[in-house]
Amino acid sequence: MTDLSTTRTYTEPLTEEDLLLLVNKENKDRKQYLAVYRILMIISFVLPYITSWYRAYEGAPNAFSYIKYFFTTGVLLGIFTFATYSSYKMYHRKIQQDITEKSKTIETSCITKKVINASNNAYYFYTTSRVKMSMEVTKEYYYSLNEGDEVSIEYTTHAQHYLGYF
């Protein structure tokens, strides 16, 4: 078993290229959150309507009750809003923190295993890193290092978004 104490980390400022990558990722993620929330809002209005029709089909009296419809819609909207906001706050804010602080973490870790995937001609290193335990590398880099050698991995400090290796 490899000793995890061989892993060392330090921080550096983000390069302009890395910062641009993060800003683009943040914009893309924000658009995805809004798209998912719009779909959930539509569901919260349509689902009670569909259940009203089902109750009417079953012959329930007062199947199209405004009170039941708006109550159910409100409950669904509340649940979906809370879930979306919690997810946004938990994951998306970390990317925003990285953009604000403009720092990345460089982690130097040991290579524990080298693997070649013959089916897609890919080369992998397994490392002692807490964030990136395996990574695909180029053929040249694969053959230039051996098990036990050190490799440096770059990722954002808070979101731990993988940026690359050297």
CA–CA dist 90, 107 (Å, integer): 24
| 139-156 tens-digit pLDDT | 998 999 989 889 999 999
- What is the three-class DSSP state of 4? helix
DSSP string, 50-103: HHHHHHHHTT-TTTT-HHHHHHHHHHHHHHHHHHHHHHIIIIIHHHHHHHHHTE
Q: What is the pLDDT of residues 78-133, one digit of tens each?
A: 999 999 999 988 888 899 999 999 999 999 999 999 999 988 989 999 998 888 88
